[in-house]
Amino acid sequence: MLLAIDMGNTQTALGLFDADELVRSWRMPTDRTFTADEIHVRLLGYLRMYGLTLECVDEIAFAGVVPQLTREWRAFAQRIAARSIAVGADTAAVTCIHAPHPEEVGADRIANAVAAEKLYGAPSIVVDFGTATNIDVVDSDGYYIGGAIAPGLRISMDALVARAARIASIPLETPPHAIGRTTEEAVQSGAVLGTAAMVEGLVSRIRAELGAPEARVIATGGLANIVADSTNVFDVVDGQLTLKGICEIARRMRDRVPHTA
């Protein structure tokens, strides 16, 4: 089976695939101090929760923004004799990117674009709610062509709490009104509804630039459901989109370069 890994700045998502089927998924903190030994122990624990063993993993595919952790995951893959693939320059032959500097495009954005085109068609727009709010655009030919990057919802909230002495930590929830009746509701309106309004505005502009008013819009990422409750701009909410894109890229690489033990 394939273990797909989406290493974000804050959280790491893991998905275990049997062919194209996602059979198990987990999330854990992205800790830059993790070694291959720590990864070994963590993964072994997750698998044992479902009666699985490391022997079921014969391939590991990464999309990561933390180079030192990618190295440790590669070392772990070598330890268990699993084939390893890192989304990026090594997989450029099976992904479609039209950008001035393709090497600068984040691996998670490449995976999102691949999954969006395969599962939901082109043109399409992916909004990924993580540490940053990334908007990834796939044109009518199925190519990733760029997008937008904004501070993430939780980063914005954390910065507000840190800088505003009288605002305590407030839960990230959709408020009942745009006009907040209390301080908590007012902050939630600004953060959650404000993020939704930003996405609506950017999606409208992107659709206009694409000349594709019906381009599908897919939400993903750890905070997608919170914002999706506040807007009707999304056609689909797929929390596992990035993992599915990683799986698809690995499949394309496997078909292109036969694996030999």
- 205's tokens: 């502009």
158: pLDDT strictly greater than 90: no
Residue 256 inside a domain? The answer is: no
Classified as helix, coil or strand, 129 is: strand
pLDDT digits 0-9 by tens, 64-99? 877 888 889 889 999 998 898 999 888 999 999 999
- Residue 7 annotated as part of some ligand binding site: yes
pLDDT at 124: 98
> Is the overall model pTM greater than 0.85, yes or no?
yes
**CA 116 to the chain's CA centroid:** 12
pLDDT digits 0-9 by tens, 163-196? 886 777 788 889 999 999 998 999 999 999 999 9
259: pLDDT strictly greater than 80: no
Q: Which of 43, 67, 86 is the last residue of a domain?
A: 86
pLDDT at 161: 83
For residues 113 and 215, what is the distance between their CA atoms, to the nearest angstrom?
13
pLDDT at 38: 92
* Residue 37 domain boundaries: 2-86
- Residue 10 annotated as part of some ligand binding site: yes
- Residue 12 annotated as part of some ligand binding site: yes
260: pLDDT strictly greater than 60: no
pLDDT at 261: 36
pLDDT digits 0-9 by tens, 94-141? 999 999 998 889 999 999 999 999 999 999 999 999 889 999 999 999
Q: Do 103 and 79 meet the contact criterion of CB atoms below 8 Å apart?
A: no
Tell me which residue of 84, 33, 120 sits closest to 253, measured CA to CA.
84
Q: Where are the alpha helices (DSSP H) in 107-230?
A: 107-120, 153-163, 183-188, 194-210, 224-228
pLDDT digits 0-9 by tens, 20-32? 999 999 998 888 8
204: pLDDT strictly greater than 90: yes
158 included as an active-site residue: no
Indicate whether 80 and 167 sit together in one domain.
no
Indicate whether 112 and 238 sit together in one domain.
yes
Catalytic residue among 37, 108, 141, 235: 108
Indicate whether 193 and 166 sit together in one domain.
yes
DSSP at 97: B
- Residue 33 annotated as part of some ligand binding site: no
Q: Do 188 and 173 meet the contact criterion of CB atoms below 8 Å apart?
A: yes
Residue 92 inside a domain? The answer is: no
- Residue 31 annotated as part of some ligand binding site: no
Task: Provide the domain count of the chain.
Answer: 2
- Residue 9 annotated as part of some ligand binding site: yes
CA distances from 219 to 64, 76, 216, 222, 241 (A): 19, 31, 10, 10, 9
Q: Do 110 and 94 meet the contact criterion of CB atoms below 8 Å apart?
A: no
State the pLDDT confidence band at 36, using cuts at 50, 70 and 90.
very high
Residue 257 inside a domain? The answer is: no
Indicate whether 172 and 67 sit together in one domain.
no
Residue scoring higher pLDDT (261 or 52): 52
CATH of the domain at 36: 3.30.420.40
- Residue 255 annotated as part of some ligand binding site: no
Indicate whether 128 and 213 sit together in one domain.
yes
Mean pLDDT for the chain overall:
91
Rounded to a whole number of angstroms, the distance between the first and last alpha carbons of the chain is 15
For residues 214 and 5, what is the distance between their CA atoms, to the nearest angstrom?
31
Side-chain half-sphere of 58: how many Cα atoms within 13 Å? 9
Collect all residues with Cβ–Cβ distance below 8 Å to 32 and sequence separation of at least 6: 66, 68, 69
pLDDT at 257: 56
